[in-house]
Amino acid sequence: MNRRSFIRNISLFSGSLALAGTALGRRTEALLSNSPLSDLKAFGYGELVPTAAKNTGETYLALPKGFEYNVIGKVKEKMSDGRETPPRHDGMWAFKVGSELRLVRNHEVTHLRVPRPDLAIGTANHYDPGAGGGTTTLVIDPKTRTVIRDFVSLSGTLVNCAGGPTPWGSWITCEETTVGPTVQTTSTGTKIGGFAKRHGYCFEVQASANNNVPPVALTAMGRFDHEAVAVDRKSGVVYLTEDRPTAGFYRFVPKRNGRLAEGGTLQMLAIKGWPDYDSRTKQNVGDVSRATWVTINDPDPEAADTDVLAVYKQGKAQGAATFARLEGCVADDDGRVYFTATSGGDAKAGQIWVYEPINKDEGNLKLLFEVKDRSLLFMPDNVCLMPKTQLLFVCEDGDYDGLESKNHLRIMTAGGKMADFAANINKDFPRSEFAGSTFSPDGKTLFVNLQLAGVTLAIWGDWAAFKE
């Protein structure tokens, strides 16, 4: 028995009591079986058919029969605050604020990672006036699924890709870049940088805010290519993903639960007894490894201006694990954290992982799914859980030069199967990825973005009709 198998077997034994009989265990059992591909395909809600939007007549999606959708929050439409809706809709979450249903939505605006004067999307409280990213908030009528009012809620940030909700009613939006004041020249001769402020941070936006919030960079949560976050509602620990070919999986332990701006400790996941663990290839679905955490001593390095891996390298030097393009991240009510590695696996087509805390210092890391066939899933990105179920909705981001595959919204079941839920069939934006999937708190409406198309879609139907 080799060292890796020995360590894995110890982990399997130590983790079996926690995972046996759970949905995670059932999912792994299904995926471990040498079943034909058809055995990993769930019926879901049935065959996808081209469907026109109920409110506009535009055709963006193929959906199962019986499902409908509205088009809302389109790019360049004037919002209630008089500003144009920014482009590149990305991460998003739905909140109940009093009697209102609200969406807080990211805009992954890059403008080639160089500042442009007065590009900030809001009217005040800009973090950096030369940066055109941020968030908008949409107040939604839950009956008509249309916008009551909308406005900029964070201004002057850059490349706001994903993020995640907090249990205390806010959205953490994350910058997927570390450019700053330093001007640098890329390998292709392009100049980037020269901003008034450092970028590469998380920012907190209260869902209840009614205008631009004063921006506060959460520097203790690290300066790197942030993607998504998930918060353990019991402990207040924040888990963070990093979208790089060599990426770390992080957690932030706040000094005070719910008070992220007061600081805390940033850590990076490592595999106990296996320093420098590389999860990107040669993995087995169902493997369980005991994970621990190493502390990042300088979470906000000045070197990140020119070295996007300045934080990752600190963890790597202490033996932390490496992943491939970590993107989507979501926590369930029991503190388990699901996250996607968009280009992970031997086929470089995606992995889905779960981390389950055992105590405050350790947990089990498990590979739930690795893409072998693109017809099931390809390059998973943002994820969300349907309320009161264990159905994991997975956005695809897999339409790149040489890797063309029509983007879908898929569903992963507790039994380890994949079902199709939606396909992007829009003729004007056929390569647009899905992003920002989130359910209304009552579970009646699924909201999702088509990023390049610059639209938010509100989808509804008989959610109870799902068949595995």
What is the DSSP track for 62-99?
Answer: EEETT-EEEEES-TT-B-TTSPBPPS-EEEEEEEEETT
Residue 1 has pLDDT above 90, yes or no: no
pTM, two decimals, is 0.93
Per DSSP bridges, beta strands 326-331 and 380-385 are: unpaired
Tell me the domain boundaries of the chain: 3-461
Per-residue pLDDT reduced to its tens digit, 263-277: 999 999 999 999 999
Tokens of 427: 């003729």
- Which pair of tokens denotes residue 216? 């506060």
Instruction: Please check the confidence at residue 323 and state whether its pLDDT lies above 70.
Output: yes
Query: Quick one: pLDDT at residue 423?
Result: 97
Cβ partners under 8 Å of residue 314, min gap 6: 268, 296, 297, 298, 301
**Using one digit for the tens of pLDDT, what is the confidence trace for 102-112?**
999 999 999 99
pLDDT band at 23 (very low <50, low <70, confident <90, very high): low
Render 408-465 in DSSP notation, one character per residue: EEEEE-TTS-EEEEEEE--SS-TTPPEEEEEE-TTSS-EEEEETTTTEEEEEES-GGG
Across 386-405, average pLDDT: 87
Report, as an integer, the average pLDDT of 398-421: 86
* pLDDT confidence bin for 146, thresholds 50/70/90: very high
pLDDT average, residue stretch 301-310:
97
Asked whether the CA dihedral 276, 279, 284, 287 is positive or negative, the reply is positive
18 has a pLDDT exceeding 80: no
Tell me which of 26 and 254 has the higher pLDDT: 254
Q: Which residue has the higher pLDDT, 198 or 3?
A: 198
**3-461: CATH topology:** Neuraminidase (2.120.10)
pLDDT mean over 68-83: 98
Instruction: Pick the range with the lowest mean pLDDT from 14-18, 74-78, 346-350, 376-380.
Output: 14-18
Q: What pLDDT shows up at residue 33?
A: 44
Distance CA 104, CA 82 (A): 18
Its sign, for the CA torsion 449, 453, 458, 459, is negative
Q: Answer yes or no: is pLDDT of 29 > 70.
A: no
For residues 329 and 342, the answer to whether their CB atoms sit within 8 Å is no
- Phi, psi (degrees; rounded to nearest 5) at 63: -130, 165
pLDDT of 20 over the 50 cut: no
What does the pLDDT average to over 113-127? 93
Are 287 and 175 contacting, i.e. CB atoms less than 8 angstroms apart? Answer: no
- Per-residue pLDDT, 404: 65
In this prediction, residue 39 carries a pLDDT of: 81
Q: Which residues pair with 268 in a beta bridge?
A: 250, 294
What pLDDT, on the 0 to 100 scale, is given for residue 401? 73
User: Is 147's pLDDT higher than 70?
Assistant: yes
Confidence of residue 34 (pLDDT cuts 50, 70, 90): very low
Say whether 221 sits in a helix, a strand or coil: helix
CA distance 153 to 142: 21
Which one-letter amino acid corresponds to residue 284? Answer: N
Confidence of residue 403 (pLDDT cuts 50, 70, 90): low
Q: Which two tokens stand for residue 48?
A: 């996808």
List pLDDT tens digits, range 200-247. Answer: 999 999 999 999 999 999 999 999 999 999 999 999 999 999 999 999
With bands split at pLDDT 50, 70 and 90, how would you rate the model's confidence at 400? Answer: confident
Mean per-residue pLDDT over the chain, rounded: 92
For residue 414, what pLDDT is reported?
Answer: 87
3-state SS string over 338-390? Answer: EEEECCCCCCCCCEEEEEEECCCCCEEEEEEEECCCCCCCCCEEEEEECCCCC
Which of 415 and 228 is assigned the larger pLDDT?
228
**Alpha-carbon span 434 to 34, nearest angstrom:** 30
Reading phi first (left if > 0) and then psi (alpha if -120 to 50, else beta), residue 18 is in: alpha
Query: Which residues make Cβ contacts (< 8 Å) with residue 59, sequence separation at least 6?
Result: 50, 51, 52, 53, 425, 426, 427
So what's the pLDDT on residue 15?
42
CA distance 240 to 91: 14
Instruction: Compute the distance between CA of residue 146 and CA of residue 73 in angstroms, rounded to an integer.
Output: 9
CA angle 224, 364, 257 (to 5 degrees): 55
Phi, psi of 400 (to 5 degrees): -115, 165
**Predicted confidence (pLDDT) at residue 113 exceeds the cutoff of 60:** yes
Nearest CA among 149, 134, 29, 132 for reference residue 80: 149
Residues whose CB falls within 8 Å of the CB of residue 122, separated by 6 or more in sequence, listed in order: 83, 134, 152, 154, 155, 156, 212
Percent with pLDDT over 90 in the chain: 88
At 149, list the tokens: 């009012």
Tokens of 61: 């999606």
